[in-house]
Structure 1
Amino acid sequence: MTNRNNETPPLHYSRAAGVGLLLMAILAMFSNFSVLEGLIVFDDPAATATNIMTNEMLFRTGFISFVIVLILDVLLAWALYVLLLPVNKNLAMLAAWFRLVYTAIFGVALHNFLGVLQLLSGTEYLAAFTPEQIHAQVLSLIDAFNNGWLIGLVFFGFHLLIVGYLIIRSGGYMPRLIGIFLVIASAGYVIDSFAHFLLTNYSDYKTIFLLIVAIPGVIGELSLAFWLLVKGVKVQQRR
């Protein structure tokens, strides 16, 4: 028989989830803006390859940051499952699975970064291909990473939808406003991913879609992180 006195207090899960969300936000921002936005020029393969080779350690650090984010994603899926379990066990489990599937897809997509490093540093590739061919392959691998990430974000969007719904239905267990922002953010992620795949002129509306994703996403996820850290949850009151 399990001794309930030995169970981890719900507040510990809350703190772990809050810290995890904040760390993920910091690491993801670093990798996105310093590496993806700072080094990659999507219409210039040669400039992209030169930027990566010149700032190889920064590129590798960005890769490691993404790997840490993957680990935190798994831990966060577990912590949120425990915290939302009292609201609805089945939906809490489904939300966790959606996040784990997203994490797996993102991990596979991230593998393309290793291919980029191998192409640019491997002497066998330099002997077999012209610089132009290598540069084109590098950009192709980066495109493959982005496409895989976009597919994963569809699953992440559904994860946020369920988490937001559970928060809204928690009856004050967690703030309803945070749940509303998460539901809106979930729609933003799904719409943006589908727009990438459906619109041939997506770049014309890129800023609009970025705002649709970023504003509710940042507000919802960061407000949840700070609330979990400052206020926490009292799961035992619903048992």
Structure 2
Amino acid sequence: MTTLKRDARIVGLIYLALIVSAPFRLIYIPGALFVHGDSATTAHNIASHELMFRLGIFGDLVTGVVSLLLTFSLYHLFKDVDKKLAALMFVFGFMDTPLYFFNTINDVGALLAVNGADFLASFSQAQREGLMTLFLRMHGEAISCAEMFWGLWLFPLAWLVIKSRFVPRLLGYWLIPNGLAYLALCVSGVVFPAVEDTVSQFAFPLQLAEVAFALWLVIMGAKPRADGLAMPARS
């Protein structure tokens, strides 16, 4: 196995780890515990399944670390294709990690509001449920903002894939609409929340590009150029 193929497969495994870890707090926890428009039931579910909710917080921390590892690994894999473009990808991709870490504060706040009957004794049950809802909505709004960087980093990555010639160009071209889908979700979530669900339905098929890219790297790795020439680093 060539060094290039080995490195590509490692990157693919890290990418798959991100794809598996990210939806736990993003999709599973809200589906399992949150009831739209019913803060009392949501608070009860969080209190009754506190360990699950805490695992969601920890999952976001893990996702932030894995995201940073992925960004660095992709930079290492593609830096000889175009160093400046790889650096741009790294900068946009790096922003994912602090956003994940800072956003856990909102979940911690929601959990404290649910369980803070002692130090929040001056607050009524309804007020504490209102605080919980505020923190959860702030978490959701932060996710909408983070989608800006989830989309932007895919554009330099897509161009690196296209230029590399050791990964199918089709995957690079598919990553471009994947990035546009995240930008559309960001705009709808921040500016036009009434249409966010509709945009999400159209965006989902486009977002499968990252899954296809990760699976290709794990299964196929990367194929060195047929001419055997090293790819020049761009200054």
Fold match by TM threshold 0.5: yes
CA distance in 1, matches of 2:111, 2:193: 30
SS state of the match for residue 124, structure 1? coil
Aligned pair 1:217/2:207, yes or no? yes
Partner in structure 2 of residue 70 of structure 1? 64
Superposed CA deviations along residues 76-114 of structure 1, whole A, max 9, x for unmatched, are: 000010111122100101101101112212321222111
Q: Larger % of helix: which? A: 1
How far does residue 122 in structure 1 lie from its aligned partner after superposition? 2.5
State, as a whole percentage, how many aligned pairs show the same letter.
25
What letter matches 2:222 in structure 1? V
What letter matches 1:123 in structure 2? A
Count how many residue pairs are aligned between Structure 1 and Structure 2: 227
What letter matches 2:132 in structure 1? V
Matches within 5 A, 1:99-110: 99-110=93-104
Distance 1:68-1:237 versus aligned 2 partners, 3 A rule:
same
* Partners of 2:60 and 2:100 within 8 A in 1: no
The alignment's C-alpha RMSD in Å is 1.9
* Partners of 1:83 and 1:233 within 8 A in 2: no
How far does residue 160 in structure 1 lie from its aligned partner after superposition? 0.8
Partner in structure 1 of residue 151 of structure 2? 157
Partner in structure 1 of residue 117 of structure 2? 123
How far does residue 13 in structure 1 lie from its aligned partner after superposition? 2.8
CA distance in 2, matches of 1:169, 1:188: 22
Which stretches in structure 2 are left out of the alignment for 5+ residues? none
**Which one of 38, 41, 47 corresponds to residue 47 of structure 1?**
41
Partner in structure 1 of residue 215 of structure 2? 226
What letter matches 1:56 in structure 2? E
Matches within 5 A, 1:1-239: 9-170=3-164, 172-199=165-192, 201-202=194-195, 206=197, 208-218=198-208, 220-233=209-222, 237-238=230-231
CA distance in 1, matches of 2:123, 2:26: 29
CA distance in 1, matches of 2:206, 2:128: 39
* Partners of 2:67 and 2:96 within 8 A in 1: no
Q: TM-score, normalised by structure 1?
A: 0.87
How far does residue 200 in structure 1 lie from its aligned partner after superposition? 5.2
Q: TM-score, normalised by structure 2?
A: 0.89
